[in-house]
Amino acid sequence: MGFKVIENINKTDNIYAKVVYHNNLILMIDLKSMEYTVYDTEYKDQVITVRADEGIFYVPGLVTTDMEELYEADDFARLNNIVGIKLEVKDQKISVLYQESPRDFCQLQPPTNSHLRPIVCLPNELVIDIYTNMNNDEFIPDSVLE
């Protein structure tokens, strides 16, 4: 309860999701405006943002390689042979819509917009952390692709 109070005190009215894969920051998304930044890493070509206006992002995942289940539900992913984790931004929250892991735990985590509830997908080496205390000028760091 006390941590939630501290989080609320430090809020800047901005909500950003930082997506980290293999200990590399690969993507940051403004959960309010849907603006995003893809970072210039070795994984940049695996970050698919074509559907960002719908709130859909595809990012790499270490063990997410069998895409049959996603392809049945997502024509775009099937037609473009996308391999990875499907994220959704909706109502200023982010969630994992598709991934492979034991017991699909990271897919079962509820949508989040709180730093106190990150999405952690250890088998895929993916972490999504939320920042509510950043200013707009901190959104774009040094090494950016888009």
Q: Is the pLDDT of residue 145 over 80?
A: no
Give the global pTM: 0.84
Q: Which two tokens stand for residue 106?
A: 């990271």
Where in the chain are the domains?
A: 2-138
Determine the CATH number of domain 2-138.
2.60.320.10
Q: What are phi and psi of 5, to 5 degrees?
A: -65, -45
Place 3 in a pLDDT band, splitting at 50, 70 and 90. Answer: very low
Q: Is the pLDDT of residue 111 over 60?
A: yes
* Cross-strand bridge partners of residue 39: 144
Q: What's the mean per-residue pLDDT of the chain?
A: 86
Q: Provide the percentage of residues in the chain whose pLDDT is more than 70.
A: 82
Q: What CA–CA distance (Å, rounded) separates 99 from 38?
A: 20
Place 16 in a pLDDT band, splitting at 50, 70 and 90. Answer: very high
Closest CA to 43 of 28, 60, 56: 60
Encode pLDDT of 47-92 as tens digits. 999 999 999 999 999 999 999 999 999 999 999 999 999 999 999 9
